[in-house]
Amino acid sequence: MTFIDESIQILKRESYKITGPRRAVLEVLAEAEIPLSAYDIEEHIPENIPINVVTIYRVLEVFEKVGIIHKIHTKEGYVRCDFEKQKGCHSFAVCSECGRSKEFVQKECKLETQLPQKLVYKSLSHISEISGLCKQCA
């Protein structure tokens, strides 16, 4: 199952329409090697079928909501979800130089359980990103 096919399946299940702009953004993200911003994506869309950047912002909002993309905070961009790692903690290793990133699952994520009780935050979600140099940039 490809990223695009699985994403379309999820969008349909969540009652979102499969539109040209959404397909186009999926195709860009499917090929991307690094996190992309809305404007980055706009630049990667084929010139013959341009898509307004406002639409891209709205598409990304939906994609993130249904869980087919992740925001990489240390690079201010989005990457496709690695669906094989869907069950875990959605942690990322991000190259501080070029931005290449890989999702990985922590066998035993103690983060939420180690949250001191006195902070009284009722945990809802968490992000973990490790920055470093990838093979190419090292």
Partner DNA sequence: TTTTAAATATAATAATATTGCATTTAAAAT
Partner DNA sequence: ATTTTAAATGCAATATTATTATATTTAAAA
Give the residues across from 78 on adjacent strands: 36, 71
Taking CB under 5 A as the rule, does residue 93 contact Zn ion?
Answer: no
H or E stretch including 23?
helix 20-31
- Count Cβ atoms below 10 Å from residue 31 Cβ, excluding itself: 10
- Rule CB under 7 A: is residue 18 a binding residue for DNA? yes
Return the one option of a second copy, DNA, Zn ion, none that residue 98 interacts with (CB less than 5 to 8 A, by type).
Answer: Zn ion
Whole-angstrom Cα distance, residue 86 to residue 10? 13
Q: Please choose which of a second copy, DNA, Mn ion, none residue 28 contacts, taking the beta carbon within 5 to 8 angstroms, the exact cut-off set by kind.
A: none
Closer Cβ to DNA, 37 or 105, answer by number: 37
Angle between helices 53-66 and 3-13 (to 10 degrees): 80
Q: Find the binder of Mn ion among 28, 36, 59, 81 (CB under 5 A).
A: 81
SS3 69: strand
Is 80 among the residues that bind Mn ion (CB under 5 A)?
no
| Contact indicator for 11, 61 with CB cutoff of 8 Å | no
Answer yes or no whether residue 21 interacts with DNA by CB under 7 A.
Answer: yes
Q: By CB under 7 A, what part of segment 43-82 binds DNA?
A: 50-55, 57-59, 62, 76
Q: Tell me how many degrees the CA angle 96-107-79 measures, rounded to the nearest 5.
A: 40
What are the tokens at 112?
A: 């939420």
Quick one: what does residue 58 bind among DNA, Mn ion, Zn ion, none, with the CB cut-off 5 to 8 Å set by partner type? Answer: DNA
The listed partner (DNA, a second copy, Zn ion, none) that binds 107, CB under 5 to 8 Å by sort, is a second copy
Residue placing its CB nearer to DNA in the complex, 57 or 104: 57
Which residue ranges make up the site for Zn ion (CB under 5 A)? 95, 97-98, 100, 134, 137
